[in-house]
Amino acid sequence: MQNISPGLQAFEFWIAMAGTVAFAVTAVLAVMPRGIDPFGAVVMGIITAVGGGTVRDMILDVPVFWGSDVSYIWVALVASIAAYYGQQFVARKHVYDLMLYLDGAAVAMFAIQAASKVIRLDFGLPLAPILLGIITAIGGGLMRDVLAGNKTLLMKKELYAVPVTLGTVVYVIALPLLPGQEITVSILCALMIFGIRAAAIRWGVSLPDWMIVGKR
Amino acid sequence: MQNISPGLQAFEFWIAMAGTVAFAVTAVLAVMPRGIDPFGAVVMGIITAVGGGTVRDMILDVPVFWGSDVSYIWVALVASIAAYYGQQFVARKHVYDLMLYLDGAAVAMFAIQAASKVIRLDFGLPLAPILLGIITAIGGGLMRDVLAGNKTLLMKKELYAVPVTLGTVVYVIALPLLPGQEITVSILCALMIFGIRAAAIRWGVSLPDWMIVGKR
Amino acid sequence: MQNISPGLQAFEFWIAMAGTVAFAVTAVLAVMPRGIDPFGAVVMGIITAVGGGTVRDMILDVPVFWGSDVSYIWVALVASIAAYYGQQFVARKHVYDLMLYLDGAAVAMFAIQAASKVIRLDFGLPLAPILLGIITAIGGGLMRDVLAGNKTLLMKKELYAVPVTLGTVVYVIALPLLPGQEITVSILCALMIFGIRAAAIRWGVSLPDWMIVGKR
């Protein structure tokens, strides 16, 4: 693995924090129409923000990431409270859209980070990095949907699992073909996930009909 | 940590057992109206009784508590069968009310025990003891609601997450301020949780309207 | 523990693979009527196929079984894609029935394998082998139902948890009574589970009414 430059590390840190905010805020907004008190909203925001990575670490049997760095929980906590009481602000179209794009950026980065972690641990190659990338990126959202009683994102037409799958598949294939280029490959694959997800948010891009079987 | 007197240990043991009974019984009563066979009811009762603490131990990466002391599972098993076939008895108003209060006492004690365990492991301070206290206390109930297809307790107006959050927050703040007083602080915080929960059961106390945003 | 003959090992391997196919295929068929894209279907198929064993290994705190042998994930992946695009083939009555029986055979074998693993680890005897046998056998199916928004199999009248419970209970009781006969006991208990499950599939056998309390 290449040494990561301090600049890139700082960039990753800020994306991770912005992504945690976006996960928590979109979770709180998603459950508020069903009626929830601020305590429930905060629990939901935190579970959504850290749930996927927690399951990943438990499956890998490594220490859960927020056990040693609790800043993820602090950020999710503050963002959840802010979203709950600042609902009128964060629900505004352009603020909510910003949250969706940040959510997409976080999904992209968390998925590639997870795949990279799984590869370094030499765990279940080549499929586990893809599967755990997906679980890390959408696991928190699945818990949110299940706990809120909403249709889970796996059952929706919206592109969510698709870009993560494509990006992590390309990552797992490209990495051994381009030795010493881990950072470049990581960034390009994360951009690919974000690009597809952003296109889904912006233009409602979805899978072509011929790929989909069964009634909707 | 102070040495716990044998008397207190015995008291904790009996509350834990009574709480396990209450978790299992209220779970079985909650799923019976949806139609369930005795085998499903027992599985549901056991999952509800030990599910929260199991997730806590998996996140902490310590041995799951019922792996070395299976008495929790025995108690949940017997209580579930008794509740299933003795439904007419346990569903009586005063028996059911007793179960609700025992459930509240168990929630209070399990939450503080969990927070204490997390603090001793020096895991994710200061937020993880609160978060894992909540997960331990209500995690089994969330699994029950999800598996039964009921609205989860996070989405209900009833005070459930609220007292646990308040009590564990006070616990985490008070503990370092009162060195050598762990037992006193633990008991007072557990009583605080139980008191609020009991007020919610007895008088339907809920959060003031000004704290709650969004439609109900 | 007896040495297992290579022939029996090969037999176990093929049942496990056929069972993984059956878990994935029945999962994909179960979620398709709700409308799902192929990516979601594959994620659902894989989670259903390996979810129960994954939770078992996490509770036992042993390495997750597919971390070192990823063939389970490959099989679930290919079977899920085949089921999605070959839906018209696998949904045919006799192919689907074959899948149900394979699913039953896998449930039987996975439950007994899990119970055996728990006993060897000396974990929570005598109840944990039964409980973890049930979780291994039906855990993936429960996750599928929860993620798809379907009524979970615990809430259905169909015999699913019942044969697994009976078979693992007999296994735990018989094993110490018949030292040196582990393989015979394992095969007989797995056949018992499969037999009851097959009777439920073939003739709709269910629990006698007198055992069931509450409205349906």
Query: What's the pLDDT band for C73 if we cut at 50, 70, 90?
Result: very high
- As a whole-number percent, the residues of chain B with pLDDT over 70 amount to 97
Say what the pLDDT of residue A2 is: 53
Prediction ipTM score: 0.94
What is the end-to-end Cα distance of chain C in Å, rounded? Answer: 44
> Is A34 part of the contact surface with chain B (CB cutoff 8 Å)?
yes
Query: What's the pLDDT band for B91 if we cut at 50, 70, 90?
Result: confident
Other C-beta atoms closer than 10 Å to the C-beta of C158 total: 14
Query: What's the pLDDT band for B15 if we cut at 50, 70, 90?
Result: confident
- Tokens found for residue A44: 């939901």
| Highest-pLDDT range among A156-160, C31-35, C140-144 | C140-144
Query: What's the pLDDT band for A209 if we cut at 50, 70, 90?
Result: confident
Mean pLDDT for chain B?
92
Contact criterion met (CB < 8 Å) for B33 and C215:
yes
User: Which chain B residues are within 8 Å of C124, Cβ to Cβ?
Assistant: 66-68, 70, 73
* Burial category of B150 from C-beta neighbours within 10 Å (exposed 0-12, middle 13-18, buried 19 and up): middle
User: Which chain A residues are within 8 Å of B162, Cβ to Cβ?
Assistant: 37, 39
pLDDT, tens digit (0-9, with 9 covering 90-100), for B154-172: 998 889 999 999 999 999 9
pLDDT, tens digit (0-9, with 9 covering 90-100), for A163-180: 999 999 999 999 999 998
Mean pLDDT for chain C?
92
Question: Neighbouring chains of A at 3+ CB pairs within 8 Å?
Answer: B, C
Higher pLDDT, B135 or A7: B135
Q: Looking at chain A, which residue has its C-alpha nearest residue C62?
A: A61
- d(CA C163, nearest CA chain B) in Å: 10
- d(CA C142, nearest CA chain B) in Å: 8
> With contact defined as beta carbons under 8 Å apart, do A155 and C148 qualify?
yes
Euclidean distance between CA atoms A94 and A96, whole angstroms:
5
Euclidean distance between CA atoms B53 and B137, whole angstroms:
8
- Reported as type and span, the H/E element at residue B207 is none
pTM of the entire structure? Answer: 0.95
Query: What's the pLDDT band for C3 if we cut at 50, 70, 90?
Result: low
Residues 55-84 of B with CB under 8 A from A: 58-61
Say what the pLDDT of residue B212 is: 86
Contact criterion met (CB < 8 Å) for B126 and A32:
no
Other C-beta atoms closer than 10 Å to the C-beta of C72 total: 22
- d(CA C171, nearest CA chain A) in Å: 28
